[in-house]
Amino acid sequence: MSDTIESFGHSLLQHGKEGNRIYLMKFDERDQKGLLKHMDALASKENYTKIVAKLPASQKNRFEDHGYQQEAIMPSYYQRQQDCVMMCKYFSEDRAKRENAAELEKIIHSVQEKAGEPPTALPELWYLRRLTEDDVPALAQVYQTVFKSYPFPIFNEDYLLETMNDNIQYYGVFTPNGLAAVASSETDPAHLNSEMTDFAVLPEYRGHQLALHLLLELEQQMKEQGYRLLYTIARSLSYGMNSTFAKAGYHFGGTLFNNTQISGSIESMNIWHKEL
């Protein structure tokens, strides 16, 4: 079952049992009086074990006073005028445990040594382009093949079509056999930032740095469209995805521990960001 996405006033929340958390995706200052109480009440009602909030840095002290701690930061997130902080609150000791911390740190240090490495060329007859409505069935199939489960309903063709016509731009790498790898850019025009996300490469096409090819193309497109801050929330134990963003010159912004349900388990996620 997919998570619920709903509004509270002018803010936007995502929550659900699979991730067992609340994610404050968009915060509006007009809601600050009632929002904290609402999220606590919702967490209590549904027995959620974590709240993660994406906030302007100006709200950091207010949320700290209510038991939140900062786990990550993205500089100049809001139109290059204010940083974004990722603040978290735990309702379970087990959820708050930072397991694999040494392994996570080792991966971060290792991939940072790869900054600036260019990708190898695509094989002959392989090409990359923006996806259209006609590509939606193949796009859904790639996601269904790569992921057991996901925090957003990317297996659903209607969802993909709706978001494609709204604020998400999807790109793919094609081989003579069809669509082999995909990624998307979830744009926020109001704040001039975009999330590089939903990377998926079919198993038989891995090893060709297709995620890096997609990232560099997405980045170029976002730059041409006037976006100023790009970021991702990557699976912390995925050496490949963390390496991809390090190679493209992204900076490590922190780890969201035990944060996101992907492929059947709760995983920690790394923030990487880049100013254009």
Give every CB contact of residue 46 below 8 A, 6+ residues apart in sequence. 15, 17
Tell me what pLDDT residue 149 has. 82
Q: Largest Cα–Cα distance in the chain?
A: 58
- Tell me the C-alpha distance between 84 and 274, whole Å: 13
DSSP result, 56-104: EGGGHHHHHTTT-EEEEEEEEEETTTEEEEEEEEES-HHHH--TTHHHH
Q: Which residues pair with 238 in a beta bridge?
A: none
The CATH code that applies to domain 4-96 is 3.40.630.30
- Specify the amino acid at residue 142: V
Write down the mean pLDDT value for the chain.
95
Q: What is the pLDDT of residues 215-236, one digit of tens each?
A: 999 999 999 999 999 999 999 9
Instruction: Tell me if 92 sits within 8 A of 112, measured CB to CB.
Output: no
Q: Which two tokens stand for residue 182?
A: 């995909």
With tokens 């793919």, the residue in question is 172
Q: What's this model's pTM, rounded to 2 decimal places?
A: 0.92
Pair 259, 229: CB distance under 8 Å: no
Eight-state DSSP code of residue 118: P
pLDDT in tens, 189-220: 999 999 999 999 999 999 999 999 999 999 99
pLDDT tens digit sequence for 67-116: 999 999 999 999 888 999 999 999 999 999 998 889 999 999 999 988 88
SS3 9: coil
Which pLDDT does position 3 carry in this prediction? 84
In the chain, where the domains are located: 4-96, 111-275
Q: For residues 47 and 159, give the distance between their C-alpha atoms in angstroms, rounded to a whole number.
A: 28
Query: Which CATH fold would you assign to the domain 111-275?
Result: Aminopeptidase (3.40.630)
- CA–CA dist 61, 42 (Å, integer): 22
Is residue 160 predicted with pLDDT exceeding 70?
Answer: yes
CA 82 to mean position of chain CA atoms: 20
In single-letter form, the type of residue at position 27 comes to F
The answer for residues whose C-beta is within 8 angstroms of residue 274's C-beta and 6 or more apart is 219, 229, 230, 231, 248, 249, 250, 251
Please give the single-letter amino acid code of residue 86: M
Instruction: Enter the tokens of residue 50.
Output: 């974590």
Q: Left if phi > 0, otherwise alpha if psi is -120 to 50, otherwise beta: which for 254?
A: left
The tens digit of pLDDT for each residue in 30-41 reads: 998 899 999 999
Residue 93 neighbours by CB under 8 Å, 6+ apart = none
Which pLDDT score, from 0 to 100, does residue 1 have?
A: 61
CA atoms within 13 A on the CB side of 141: 8
